[in-house]
Structure 1
Amino acid sequence: MEKLLNKILLGDCMELLKQLPDNSIDAVITDPPYCSGGRNAGARVKLPSDKYGLSSNKTVHRPDFAGDTMDQRAWLRWCVLWINECHRVLKDSGYFLMFSDWRQLPTATDAVQMGELIWRGIIAWDKGGGSRAPHKGYFKHQCEYIVWGTKGACKKAIHAGPYPGCFKYPVKQSDKFHLTGKPTPLMEELVQIVPENSVILDPFVGSGTTCAAAKKHNRNFIGFEKTKTYYDIALARIKD
């Protein structure tokens, strides 16, 4: 376990999770592929940059990533597999936080419970008024969500809390290192749900924002990333 602390590993999380011992992680905080872009099979298999990239930001190139072509049933099955492994490695009362958009939110809450975790609620991330809407008749897709739960009881915290149920952080291009990257200040808030020197695992580390936030706030981290380009970006961010 010690040799994995404060490192990011390149590979598939389903294989890398097997290297972690039981009951060794204080919190899992992660942003898996949503597999939510596209209403039909043809649209779903498009590149993530075509599904999620804003037309106004096409001049900003960010690499695509793997694992975003599943339909909802396949995505649910896949989530249950890796969440089961997260349940195994979490300590008793450990936290599990998983990002989702509105399209996959119902399925994400099912996956957390099917992975034997206790679903505790939903945290809203307000991205700001600049978010998209198809036309004037729509409510803006202004929020994404964090499905959270625990392995067993949710114990009273001594170091902090209670924690906000909604965070408002805009996406800034200068702070976006991944095609679907989350704001660094948001991740800095989330890593503080556990005390200093705790171990935070991110099985889908992307550009390394969870790990950068953990490092800044004196939490240990372990990150896994499957896409080599983003793995390299994450390593560079942690080094800096």
Structure 2
Amino acid sequence: MSLMSTMPDGSYDAVITDPPYATGGTSSAARAQDPRVKYQSSTALKYYPTFANDCRDQRTHLMWSVRWMEQALRLTRPGGWLMVFSDWRQLPITSDALQIAGWTWRGIIPWDKTECCRPQLGTYRNQAEYVLTATRGGIDKSVRLCPPGVVREPIRARDKLHLTGKPVPVMEHLMTILPAGSRILDPFAGSGTTLVAARNKGHTAVGIELSSDYHRIATDRLGLVLPA
């Protein structure tokens, strides 16, 4: 938020991001565990760095979400978009937060992770996450498009560079509603998936990432050079 506060008003067409969910357990003790414990099987062969801000309680998570979403609103032009990922546990809080922050809530895009996701015996397969969409004011109806409101895409291990990374095609699908040459902000850039998708779609993107490990992964992925 300190970096976002230095950016000029209305400088982006969209904020597309996947913030920490602060979830992953049925008790406060489970939610307070390291993300590598909460979100990764003990049998996983691939190592992913951990990340911060994923251990907040419900009330604090709501207040924190409102704060960064208010900054995101200021940075987005009138008619611009917010697209933010959530799981089922934080869906109510996330929808409350974006409305408290001043966004106009437009709906939910379910991401069907397909049957490839890990099953949970005795209950339904937890194979969906959600993208809440909102605009700053009215919808830009000059964009003559109506993309599908559900996206079905598996997680492929070879393309996953973050502990909770999203597939590039999912991010590209979200961007189909944007005007050509849009400018996108991702304040939780992680391994740079949003930035990769934006480049593939001909948009410009700016990412902010607190983790030095993921900052390095994202810059390598994008073919950028870290300053000395």
Matches within 5 A, 1:119-198: 119-136=105-122, 138-158=123-143, 161-198=145-182
- Aligned to 1:96, which of 73, 79, 82? 82
Q: TM-score, normalised by structure 2?
A: 0.95
How far, CA to CA, are the matches of 1:110 and 1:68 in structure 2? 19
- Aligned to 2:8, which of 16, 21, 37? 21
Matches within 5 A, 1:191-206: 191-206=175-190
Where does structure 1 differ by over 3 angstroms across 4 or more consecutive aligned residues?
none
2:110–2:131 CA contact under 8 A, matched in 1: yes
The answer to whether residue 36 in structure 2 is matched with residue 49 in structure 1 is yes
Q: Identify the residue that residue 213 of structure 1 maps to in structure 2.
A: 197
Most deviating of 31-40 and 167-176? 31-40
Unaligned stretches of 5+ in structure 1? Answer: 1-13
Matches within 5 A, 1:70-109: 70-109=56-95
How far, CA to CA, are the matches of 1:62 and 1:187 in structure 2? 20
Report % sequence identity: 43
Most deviating of 38-47 and 140-149? 38-47
RMSD: 1.2
User: Is the partner of 2:5 in helix, strand or coil?
Assistant: helix
Q: Deviation of residue 73 (structure 1)?
A: 0.7
Q: Deviation of residue 216 (structure 1)?
A: 1.5
How far, CA to CA, are the matches of 2:172 and 2:53 in structure 1? 26
Letter in 2 for 1:153: G
Query: What is the total number of aligned residue pairs between the two structures?
Result: 224
Q: Identify the residue that residue 215 of structure 2 maps to in structure 1.
A: 231
2:112–2:129 CA contact under 8 A, matched in 1: yes
Letter in 1 for 2:55: T
The answer to whether residue 71 in structure 2 is matched with residue 61 in structure 1 is no
Per-residue deviation, residues 16-74 of structure 1 (Å, max 9, x unmatched): 10121011110000000000112333222211010011344x21111111110101111
User: Is the partner of 2:72 in helix, strand or coil?
Assistant: helix
How far, CA to CA, are the matches of 1:157 and 1:210 in structure 2? 24
Per-residue deviation, residues 149-204 of structure 1 (Å, max 9, x unmatched): 1000012143x520111000000000100000000111112223212221000000
1:125–1:169 CA contact under 8 A, matched in 2: yes
Per-residue deviation, residues 196-228 of structure 1 (Å, max 9, x unmatched): 221000000000000011112110111000110
Q: TM-score, normalised by structure 1?
A: 0.90
Q: Identify the residue that residue 222 of structure 1 maps to in structure 2.
A: 206
User: Is the partner of 1:36 in helix, strand or coil?
Assistant: coil
Unaligned stretches of 5+ in structure 2? Answer: none
Q: Which has the higher contact order (CA 8 A, sep 6+)?
A: 1
How far, CA to CA, are the matches of 1:70 and 1:91 in structure 2? 30
